Amino acid sequence: MANLLDQLRGLSAVDCDTLDVDVAAKLGPFADCTSNQAIVFSELSRANSDGTPFHSKLIHESYVTAHWMFAKQSDATLYELVVEIATVGLSLRFAPYLSGFCHVQTNPKWCYSTQKTIKNAERIVSHFRQLGPDFDASRVCIKIPATWEGLQACRELEKRGIATLATTVFCMEQAALAAEVGCRYIAPYVNELRVHFDPAYVDTDKGFPLCAAAQHYFEGRDLATLVMPASLVSIDEVMQLAGAQHITVSPPLLAELAATPATGWQGAGTVGQVMGHAAGRIAGAEGQYDAVLNDEGRWKLALTRADGGKSMGKLVQAINIFCGVQEKVEDLVKRLNPI
């Protein structure tokens, strides 16, 4: 009997929001694998039954490579390099279960620096080439927070043949600029990032309309950028978004989808209702952003005013959280230093 995960795969490309290979082996294959600092921290924090680090060998190898690289460059600290290299190592283990991209997020501390983000992205791709010489590096997609500076980095990276995804997208101003600079994907956050760190918090202003509006905007203009809704908290949310070009799903929700028969599911009437419902589109999206896409000041003001300032607040919150987790994962590898 078909389950909800089977049904979803018939309507959208399903991506896995984890670096846990066990999930891929059990529930894969997937189109893409998405990750961020929180996912890396969770995976590197895993321990064996005796309390030793589950990924001790990977962490040791990452330190060896990082020490060698650190002596040759000055663009990153030793611990930033270890985190990057370990992230790439985890991604390469996941790659056999994918038909598409491995997504790796840049250091969020550089999200307001175009040049530092470009350097960070190119270094990540070089890690893939060094650690996985048999892996096609064109299958690396770099996730970059959708600030003005981050999206200008995406523009330059796409020119250099490096695929990009604009992440932490909360409004059409970000989505339209992401398409303008040539991003392969955007990741509209349905729920604020805070929901994954504060169990008591419920987002009552969900980004469903943005997902539909962005996909409609891109398709209406024959733009190549794809929509990948992210930050979902229930299988109901996932199935309402069926029909999105891509959708990235966390392991608990993937397991619940796989365990739920499609026939008789109580939410059957809501499947695909977000992406297929014209009322979910944002009125006037077809042309109202053109005037700001190549004007930094006007675009930043438009972002600041989007949805009465809520979108900017959500973006700043997400960047702050990711910066905090970046520091946590650097501290983690520092504590686990085997050398």
Q: Which DSSP letter does residue 3 get?
A: B
Q: Which pairing describes strands 163-169 and 140-145: parallel, antiparallel, or unpaired?
A: parallel
142 phi, psi to nearest 5 deg: -95, 125
- Is pLDDT at 244 greater than 70 in this prediction? yes
Q: How far apart are CA 166 and CA 16, in angstroms?
A: 17
DSSP-derived 3-state class of residue 143: strand
Which residue from 206, 210, 158 is spatially nearest to 184, judged by alpha carbons? 158
What average pLDDT does the segment 319-324 reach? 98
Assigned token pair, 284: 């006037």
Q: What is the model's pLDDT at position 279?
A: 42
Q: What is the model's pLDDT at position 286?
A: 55
pTM for the structure as a whole:
0.95
34-48, 57-71, 137-151, 267-281: the lowest-pLDDT one:
267-281
- Is pLDDT at 73 greater than 80 in this prediction? no
Q: What does each C-alpha distance from 90 to 241, 285, 303 come to in angstroms?
A: 28, 39, 35
What average pLDDT does the segment 78-88 reach? 97
What average pLDDT does the segment 287-302 reach? 92
- Is pLDDT at 305 greater than 60 in this prediction? yes
**pLDDT band with cut points at 50, 70 and 90 for residue 276:** confident
- Is pLDDT at 228 greater than 60 in this prediction? yes
Q: What is the model's pLDDT at position 282?
A: 52
Q: What is the model's pLDDT at position 72?
A: 78
Average pLDDT value for the chain: 95
Q: How far apart are CA 184 and CA 205, in angstroms?
A: 26
Q: For the CA atoms of 286, 291, 297, 299, what is the dihedral angle to 10 degrees?
A: 10
Q: What does each C-alpha distance from 174 to 40, 107, 163 come to in angstroms?
A: 25, 19, 17
**pLDDT band with cut points at 50, 70 and 90 for residue 288:** confident
Q: What does each C-alpha distance from 312 to 10, 82, 91, 107, 152 come to in angstroms?
A: 35, 31, 31, 20, 18
**pLDDT band with cut points at 50, 70 and 90 for residue 280:** very low
- Is pLDDT at 4 greater than 90 in this prediction? yes
Q: What is the model's pLDDT at position 287?
A: 64
| Superfamily classification of domain 4-335 | Aldolase class I (3.20.20.70)
Q: What is the model's pLDDT at position 318?
A: 98
* Each residue's pLDDT tens digit, 176-211: 999 999 999 999 999 999 999 999 999 999 999 999
- Is pLDDT at 118 greater than 90 in this prediction? yes
Query: Counting beta carbons within 10 angstroms of the beta carbon of residue 119, is it exposed (0 to 12), middle (13 to 18) or buried (19 or more)?
Result: middle
47 phi, psi to nearest 5 deg: -130, 150
Decide: 140 and 128 in contact? Cβ < 8 Å.
yes
209 or 75: which leads in pLDDT: 209
- Is pLDDT at 48 greater than 90 in this prediction? yes
* Each residue's pLDDT tens digit, 145-173: 999 999 999 999 999 999 999 999 999 99
**pLDDT band with cut points at 50, 70 and 90 for residue 284:** very low
DSSP-derived 3-state class of residue 140: strand
Which residue from 249, 266, 267 is spatially nearest to 258, judged by alpha carbons? 249
